[in-house]
Amino acid sequence: MGWSIGYDGNWERDIGYGVPAECDHPKCREKINRGLSCVCGEQPYGGDKGCGLFFCAKHLFLHLFVDGEVKFVCPRCDSHKPPYRPKPDVEEWIRFKMTHESWEEWRTQNPKFVEENKRLLSTKH
């Protein structure tokens, strides 16, 4: 199984190294992907040590847990606080899902997404 594109039902968004994104830290606009190297907790969906959101290298911290396990986690998980609010998909990813032939069946099955994003295709090139 590859990690290029998948879906996180917890945060209800696409994940994988093939998914362009923006760092989920609220004050950061760094371009990243939603691959394993950027996920808080170092496991899909965050595992048992992280929130499962995605961050740039500046916002992932090495944290030593009580059991001796070391994980990269975000500032909130490092401080044992509730997670940040996840950022929405970036325009590049939405445009890809709206136009690429490999997503044609998905678009047919998700008419609400298509309707909500039609305006994006007509207003920006």
b/e for 34-48, b at 16 or more Cβ within 10 A?
bbeebbbbbebbbee
Please give the model's pTM, rounded to 2 decimal places.
0.89
Could you give the CA distance from residue 22 to residue 88 in angstroms, rounded to a whole number? 8
Least reliable range by pLDDT among 31-45, 95-109, 110-124: 110-124
Share of the chain above pLDDT 90, in %: 75
Q: What residue spans define the domains of the chain? A: 1-87, 90-125
Chain-centroid distance, C-alpha 122: 25
Token digits for 73?
């986690």
Could you give the CA distance from residue 25 to residue 83 in angstroms, rounded to a whole number? 10
Could you give the CA distance from residue 70 to residue 96 in angstroms, rounded to a whole number? 36
Give the pLDDT confidence of 61-107 residue by residue, as tens digits: 998 777 788 889 999 999 999 999 999 999 999 999 999 999 999 99
Burial class (CB in 10 A: 0-12, 13-18, 19+), 98: middle
